[in-house]
């Protein structure tokens, strides 16, 4: 039975070999020629609407998902990106005072996959430029007209953005009207102003105003700093006065005189050559000068009773003041200094006076 059927088919092919071969070649050529029109690949995150050439055109309530689809070559598939999208556009609007501003708004949205057929039939692939952004512009002008310019670029900017988003979500459900069993074309995610452009003259005025405000605040800080500096100086003066009140009771003329004599005696004990000059008056203290740099030791000098210096050879240890013989008792030293005629004092003259 099977062998008879196989023989029958072979006989049929033998009789229609030319026609069968031509048909197979035509089908293969047809598939190769219309391959891209028959096998359609829809990428990830995309959807498609179907358009039938001979059976009513666009299918409204049907869409293709991701993957490879097979259609007749005379039909068409319109692919849409169903992922999150952004559109940015500039709009001109009038504020509450009548000032014209330019704002740049950004809309974030997604296409409803069930509305791909509706969009294809009534708007087309560029529906965002034809329907979405013009609707956004109308709502932006409406919302900006409710606020002043200062509120727009300062405190009420977020409120205006929320108002535009709320109104557009209501409008998005009616972008395409007059269609039975319609669904929203897009799903709105967010909206914000990416830029606000003010007139050049107004920008200059605002910058000048802000500059003056900063200068005013700077003066406030300067006054605060000066007040703190005055307080600091007052506290410092009080401290100095308190110190003087504390130490003034323990410092007397005798104490100061004794400290001066003690310092003079320590200088006189030095082995270097020096000049001792006796100060005038009762309170005058000896002043010791020197030494001078010289390769030869300076000559020693003494003073006569009439005040004339007498030069004599210097001692190996250098000149010593007669103050060495003054007693350490301050009372006796005071009497010695107060004498009208002083005993000779050893002086060491510099080389220039020789």
Which of 215, 248, 281 marks a domain boundary?
248
pLDDT of residue 61: 80
Has residue 235 been placed in a domain?
Answer: yes
Domain count, the chain: 4
Q: Is residue 242 domain-shared with residue 262, that is, in the same domain?
A: no
Q: Is residue 191 domain-shared with residue 212, that is, in the same domain?
A: no
Residues 6 or more apart whose Cβ sits within 8 Å of residue 291 = 272, 273, 274, 348
- Tally of CB atoms within 10 A around 168: 22
Q: Is residue 189 domain-shared with residue 145, that is, in the same domain?
A: yes
Question: Which pTM does this prediction carry?
Answer: 0.50
Q: Per the omega criterion (within 30 degrees of 0), is the bond before 291 cis?
A: yes
Provide the 8-state DSSP code for 48. Answer: E
Which pLDDT band, with edges at 50, 70 and 90, does 3 fall under?
confident
What's the whole-number average pLDDT of the chain? 75
285 and 260 Cβ atoms separated by less than 8 Å? yes
Has residue 141 been placed in a domain?
Answer: yes
Has residue 44 been placed in a domain?
Answer: no
Which of 218, 248, 278 marks a domain boundary?
248
Has residue 43 been placed in a domain?
Answer: no
Has residue 104 been placed in a domain?
Answer: yes
CATH value at residue 180:
3.30.479.30
Model pLDDT for residues 117-155, shown as the tens digit of each residue:
888 888 888 888 888 888 888 999 998 888 888 788 777
The region of weakest confidence among 15-24, 64-73, 108-117 is 15-24
Q: Is residue 242 domain-shared with residue 258, that is, in the same domain?
A: no
Has residue 46 been placed in a domain?
Answer: no
Rounded CA-CA distance 163/184 in Å is: 20
Q: Is residue 10 domain-shared with residue 109, that is, in the same domain?
A: no
Q: Is residue 160 domain-shared with residue 180, that is, in the same domain?
A: yes
Has residue 41 been placed in a domain?
Answer: no
Model pLDDT for residues 47-84, shown as the tens digit of each residue:
899 888 888 888 888 888 888 888 888 888 889 989 98
pLDDT of residue 234: 92
Q: Which range marks the domain in which residue 129 is found?
A: 85-198
Phi-psi bin for 183: left (phi > 0), alpha (psi -120 to 50), beta?
Answer: beta
Q: Return the sign of the alpha-carbon dihedral for residues 179, 183, 187, 192.
A: positive
Rounded CA-CA distance 25/33 in Å is: 12
Which pLDDT band, with edges at 50, 70 and 90, does 269 fall under?
confident
Q: Is residue 8 domain-shared with residue 97, that is, in the same domain?
A: no
pLDDT of 303 over the 60 cut: no
Which of 184, 219, 248 marks a domain boundary?
248
């Amino acid at each position: 039975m099977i062998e008879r059927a196989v023989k029958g088919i072979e006989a049929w092919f033998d009789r229609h070999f030319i026609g069968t071969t031509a048909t197979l070649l035509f089908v293969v050529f047809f598939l190769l020629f219309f391959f891209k029109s028959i096998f359609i690949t829809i990428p990830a995150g995309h959807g498609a609407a179907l358009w039938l050439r001979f059976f009513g055109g666009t299918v409204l309530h049907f869409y293709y998902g991701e993957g490879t689809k097979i259609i007749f070559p005379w039909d068409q598939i319109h692919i849409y990106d169903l992922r999150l999208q952004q559109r940015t556009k500039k709009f001109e609007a009038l504020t509450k005072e009548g000032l014209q501003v330019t704002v740049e708004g950004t809309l974030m949205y997604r296409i409803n996959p069930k509305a791909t057929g509706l969009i294809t039939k009534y708007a087309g692939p560029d529906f965002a430029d034809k329907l979405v952004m013009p609707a956004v512009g109308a709502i932006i002008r409406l919302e900006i007209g409710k606020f002043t310019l200062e509120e727009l670029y300062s405190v009420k900017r977020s409120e205006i953005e929320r108002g535009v988003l709320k109104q557009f979500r209501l409008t998005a459900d009616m972008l395409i009207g007059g269609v039975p069993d319609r669904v929203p074309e897009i799903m709105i995610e967010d909206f914000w102003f990416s830029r606000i452009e003010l007139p050049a003259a107004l920008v200059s005025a605002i910058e000048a105003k802000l500059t003056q405000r900063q200068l005013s605040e700077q003066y406030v800080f300067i006054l605060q700093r000066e007040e703190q500096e005055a307080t600091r100086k007052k506290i410092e003066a009080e401290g100095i006065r308190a110190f003087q009140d504390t130490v003034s009771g323990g410092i007397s003329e005798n104490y100061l005189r004794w400290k001066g004599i003690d310092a003079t005696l320590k200088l006189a004990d030095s082995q270097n050559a020096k000049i001792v000059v006796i100060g005038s008056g009762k309170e005058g203290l000896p002043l010791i000068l020197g030494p001078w740099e010289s390769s030869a030791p300076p000559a020693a000098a003494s003073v006569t009773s009439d005040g004339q210096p007498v030069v004599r050879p210097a001692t190996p240890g250098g000149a010593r003041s007669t103050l060495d013989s003054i007693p350490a008792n301050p009372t006796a030293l005071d009497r010695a200094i107060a004498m009208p005629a002083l005993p000779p004092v050893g002086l060491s003259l510099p080389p220039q006076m020789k």
